[in-house]
Every structure is written in structure tokens, then in C-alpha cells.
Amino acid sequence: MTAYTLAELAARFDLEVVGDGSTSIEGLCELLPGEPGKLGFMSGAAYRAGLATTRAAAVIVGKRDVAGLTTPGLVARDIGLAFARIAKLYDRSLDFQPGVHETAVVDTSAQLGEGVYIGPGSVVEAGVVIGEGSYIGPRCVLRRGASLGAGARLEAAVTIAEDVRIGARILVQPGAVIGSRGFGNVRLPDGSWESMPQLGTVVIGDDVEIGANTTIDRGALGNTVIENGVRLDNLIQIAHNCLIGANTAVAACTGIAGSAKIGKRCLIAGATAINGHVTICDDVVILGMGMVTASIDAPGIYGSGLPASPARDWRKSVARIRRLDKLIERVKHLEGLLNVKAQESADASEGNDH
């Protein structure tokens, strides 16, 4: 494994060295107990006491914790970002040797860029284009006319439907399905259904990550669009003709109905439900289990479902909510009585004036 000195890491990532810059770092570790030869990570103030007892060769800290170091260290303005960037130097999990496995099926018209790997049991249909340096893991299916940019990575059992267009450096976790037929149906008078063809596709930008078993439906006429830098967690459903703006992140188990438009840099917490045809502007945060039933046109933080509480308290809260309609009617009735009294007083006062 490649080792780097603290001085080399500091120079590469614009960090400050404390102590011996020649300290060799062979990998990364937790702060406690720590491991000799590795770089620890102090992820928050709660771990501050661990600086005195860690066995790590060095630790990444913020400016305020330099005095607590008992080992050499790296000082970062953003500890998490520094750790993430350094970790990539030691991550060998994405390494592969180019080539096409003997059990893969690749159409002769497919275009494979230089340095591509196609794994066991994968199928690459006619007209598919795969950019250089891409990794297609085992049992992936790329349907006719699909295209992937350079440096794409499909981990395993990923399906890319026909004519889907994907940019560079995408990372797709196992089981994801991109470009499946959207939920388009027309109800007939007898209660049965007529399927509506989905003639659009999915267009995904660069540097997007898509979680395991997430599904993105193709457009009905236009396209479903995922812009650059989007992060999608596991088990997300994105329906036909949605748009997800650049650098937005969506957490697991969220469902986004058809033609919803979500702006740039939004944070959508887990188990959120977003109605079809709504628009969410840029820089919006939706808290967990949020229900978005109408468009949001102002940046900010928007609430979620009822937080968990002891069952007895929760039942009381629900009971009060159920009584709101009756309470509103009572308030309206009382307001009516007050208005009548006020009018009677006004009339009496006017009579006295005369």
C-alpha cells in the first residue's frame, strides 16, 4: 500500500502540519483506539478526550484542538472534507483491470472506450456507448442506445434502459434501475386500464451518485432529468418527467411523483413524499417524513411529520388534531355571538346618542 508523509498530505490538500512532517501514514483509522502508522479523525468535540490516548500516528483536527494533540497532526478548516479527500488516496475498492469477462454479452455495434471493464453476466446491447475508464459490474444490463460518459461505475445488477443518456463519473449502486417505464395509465369506463407509452428517456449529468435499488422512470414525452452533482440515496422512487437540480441530495425511501421539479442545492430528508407537478425552488431543506403537497417558492427549512414521542403523548396529540374541526366550528360560533353582541351594543349606543 502506498504511504504518504504528513508533509505530502498537507501540501496536496492545503493543510497545516503540527509536529513531525515526515511521519509516514499508511492508511486511516478511528480516533479510538487508533492504529500505529495510520491517520485518525476527530469528528467532533465529544471525541476531544481521545486525543490524549489515541494510538494513531497522527490526527486531523481543527484549529481549536491543536493544543490537545499528543501526536503529530494535520490542521484543517473543514475536518470532514479533509478526511474525505485523504481517504480517497487509500481507497483501493474501486480499482479494476480493463477487459470483458467471458460470460458477458456485448453487441458488436457497442462502442467501448479505452480501459473499460465489463463484468460476468452483463449484457451490452446494440448501439450502446461506454466512455473510457468505465466499470460495468456483474449482471448489469445496458439496453440499446444507452450511453455512459467517461469514468462511469455501475456496481452490480444495474439496469440502464434504452436510450438513457448519462454523463461522466456516475456511480450507481447495486440494483438501481434507470429509465424504466413510468407509471402512465388511462382509466377506461369499465374500470380497467390502458397503458400509456412512455416515449421520453432519462438524462443524467456528470458526477451523480445513485443508491442501491433506486428507480428513475423515463419521461412520458419529454425527459426525466437529473442534473450535475446530484446525490440519491438507496430506495428512492423518481417518477416520469421529474427534474432534480444540480447538487441536490435526496435521502432514502423518498418518493417523488411525476413532473415534480426540485431546485438546486436542496436537501430532502428520508421518507419524504413529494406530489406530482409541484415545484420546489433552490436551497430548500425538507425535514424527514415531509409531505410536500404544494409548490415551495422561498428558500428555507420546511417541517416534517410528527416526531416520535411516548405512545400516550402521541395519542393525545392525534386526538387533539382530530378535534380541530369541531374546535374551529366552536370558535366561529363564539365569534358570531361576539359580533352580534358588539352590533347590539353599537345600536344601543347610537340610540342613546339620539
Please indicate whether residue 240 is annotated as part of the active site. Answer: yes
Question: Which of 240, 277, 333, 354 is an active site residue?
Answer: 240
Q: Parallel, antiparallel, or unpaired for β 185-187 and 193-195?
A: antiparallel
Which amino acid would we find at residue 108?
A: T
Residue with cell 456511480: 171
Question: Would you put residue 229 in left (φ > 0), alpha (ψ -120 to 50) or beta?
Answer: left
Nearest to 33 by CA among 6, 11, 12, 51: 51
C-alpha 257/C-alpha 85 separation (Å) is: 35
Cβ atoms of 140 and 156 closer than 8 Å = yes
Q: What angle do CA 78, 13, 9 make, to 5 degrees?
A: 115
Nearest to 241 by CA among 290, 198, 194: 198
Strand order in 129-130's β-sheet? 111-112, 129-130, 147-148, 165-166, 202-204, 224-226, 243-244, 261-262, 279-280
Cβ atoms of 254 and 280 closer than 8 Å = no
Q: What angle do CA 222, 223, 228 make, to 5 degrees?
A: 145
Cell numbers found for residue 57? 500516528
For 19, 32, 66, 249, 269, the CA distances from 35, given in Å and listed in that order, are: 18, 8, 20, 33, 35
Q: List, by residue number, the catalytic residues.
A: 240
